[in-house]
Amino acid sequence: MLAVLKSGISRCEIEELKSAIEKCGCIVRESTEEGRCILGLIGENAAQAVGELNSTGCVEELKEVQEPYKLANRRFKQGNTVVSVKNGTVGGAKLAIMAGPCSVESEEQIVDIARKVKACGAGFLRGGAFKPRTSPYSFQGLKQQGLELLKIARQETGLPIVTEIMSADRIGEFVDNVDIIQVGSRNMQNFELLKELGRTKTPVLLKRGFSATIEELLMSAEYIMAGGNENVILCERGIRTFETYTRNTLDLSAIPAIKRLSHLPIIVDPSHAAGHWWMVEPLSKAAIAVGADGLMIEVHSDPENAQCDGPQSIKPERFRDLMEGLSSIACFEKRVI
């Protein structure tokens, strides 16, 4: 339920209303549209809370939200959410370009790539320290050492770092050291992990599960937001279909659909979607054309010898060409690289 308050309500009155709603056993979240305060009421006792609100005479309009995702809903917040990350943003006019290797392999490797992608215009450094792999015998990442190497690359370049968390017991470590915490597709419905991330304020990059519907993705975002962390970035990275030529099938239709349903920013990962390096460029261009707020691209200086996902990684020189090609599309969409 959304309660649109009358204009002229004081901050003191708003806080009293929120306190009364919480006493009814509801979660309350506040947003502002066109100068008016909107309170979102979530919980089984919403009807009782609405009664309390109506008795105050402060409510101008009540709107019922039918969808199960409330806080992530476009009806709760009409404007687009812009997530601030250090000296950058995700969701604004400037496209968020996250680039780097699938896995951190050495200090020389990650610092070299960080410098090169920054020189090409990337605003964020991605790199895996803890790697979820299908086979237990595959490279699992450098773990703690990899995280330390990402911090060195950040110090050398100033790029905020994006890396994947595997379990809730490392949240404190990630909050202290990582700028954007990535939740991979395998953990999209790890609800206990999402609840814990909801208790932080660190931006969370939530990847769509390879068999997840759009609504299921938004419900996972809702878990994080219900805990109090509204700094959520969605990521379309391809879904599993009957097609086997590509690694996954990139669902570009999810971008405009989510833009209609939710105010949260959404980026696209063409590397994991395609599984082929030569598909990254056309899929990146298509993603920007349909309204994506950014891209996550795997870049490696020696893909043939990469520890992980070499076939889908592009070399720095190709990344440079891609960034140049994206500029005209971004301009057409009134965005900038």
Q: Which of 245, 254, 256 is nearest to 279 (CA)?
A: 245
Q: Are 221 and 72 within 8 A, CB to CB?
A: yes
Query: What does each of the 337 residues of the chain score in pLDDT, given as a tens digit?
Result: 788 888 878 888 888 888 888 888 778 888 777 777 888 887 777 777 777 777 777 788 887 777 889 899 998 888 899 999 998 999 999 999 999 999 999 999 999 999 999 999 999 999 999 877 777 767 777 889 999 999 999 999 999 999 999 999 999 999 999 999 999 999 999 999 999 999 999 999 999 999 999 999 999 999 999 999 999 999 999 999 999 999 999 999 999 999 999 999 999 999 999 999 999 999 999 999 999 999 999 999 999 988 888 899 999 999 999 999 999 899 888 899 8
The residues with which 36 forms a beta bridge, in sequence order, are 33
Query: What is the pTM for the complete model shown?
Result: 0.90
Helices 214-226 and 254-261 cross at an angle (nearest 10°) of 40
- Domain extents in the chain: 2-63, 83-332
Give Cα 48 to chain centroid, integer Å.
34
CA–CA dist 220, 190 (Å, integer): 9
Q: Are 96 and 168 within 8 A, CB to CB?
A: no
Q: Are strands 59-63 and 2-5 parallel, antiparallel or unpaired?
A: antiparallel
CATH number of the domain located at residue range(s) 2-63 in this protein: 3.30.70.1140
Q: Do the first three CATH levels of 2-63 and 83-332 match, i.e. the same topology?
A: no
Q: Which CATH class is domain 83-332?
A: alpha beta
What one-letter code names the amino acid at 244? T
DSSP H helices in the chain? 11-23, 46-56, 107-120, 144-157, 171-177, 191-198, 214-226, 254-261, 270-274, 280-289, 316-332
CA–CA dist 262, 75 (Å, integer): 8
The residues with which 234 forms a beta bridge, in sequence order, are 206, 266
